[in-house]
Amino acid sequence: MKILQINSSQRPQASQSSRLAAQIVERLQAAHPANELTIRDLGLAPHPALDEAAITAIFTPADQRTPEQQARVELDDAVIAELKNSDVIVLGVPMYNFGVPAQLKHWIDAIARAGVTFRYTEKGPVGLVTGKKVYVALTRGGLYRNTPADTQVPYLKAFLGFIGLTDVQFIYAEGMAMGADAEQKALASAQSQIDELLPA
């Protein structure tokens, strides 16, 4: 089994979401020691934004691209290949200003490619990345779960489902900025959720 871990915190050395993602991966590897792991840390190595130059490169026929355009497309090709070659995807996602980190959005923009990870039909869009399990470790400073202020979960569910990833489990650590006791309680709650999903 191949595992892809995506860390999206802008604080790679002090990220609780990345640590929770790593704990999920550790459980998966403990159950199946032969698992292959790929880690992409978007805080340490940000993926470039989808700007006009990138869009132009993507929509230029491969045999007509400049070397610079081809190099830009290949950056997206690499993250798409990682995704498609993985059996399990583990995302570490902190909440920034009610949304996902910008670097995670750049990764999402990179893997959303018509005809590759989704396609449109007469009956609507069809996801092409199927048969995979997704775990999402969410860390939030406040309490947002199941409230209108939680824009992350609906967005991630909608996007992941759009490309065919419908088997998604969310792990929540909330109240992280509400004091030391609240932080410890949040991490303990997240650990309990991991224990329930992936018993040791």
192 annotated as a binding-site residue: no
115 annotated as a binding-site residue: no
114 is written with which tokens? Answer: 């018509």
Instruction: Round to whole Å and give the CA distance between 64 and 191.
Output: 51
**Cα 116 to chain center, whole Å?**
18
Expressed in angstroms, the distance from the first to the final Cα of the chain is 18
96 annotated as a binding-site residue: yes
97 annotated as a binding-site residue: yes
Tell me the three-class secondary structure of 21-66, residue by residue: HHHHHHHHHHHCCCCEEEEEECCCCCCCCCCHHHHHHHHCCHHHCC
8 annotated as a binding-site residue: no
159 annotated as a binding-site residue: no
149 is written with which tokens? Answer: 């202020």
175 annotated as a binding-site residue: no
65 annotated as a binding-site residue: no
179 annotated as a binding-site residue: no
16 annotated as a binding-site residue: yes
Feature table: binding site: 9, 15-17, 95-98, 139-142
Which residues fall in the annotated binding site for FMN?
A: 9, 15-17, 95-98, 139-142
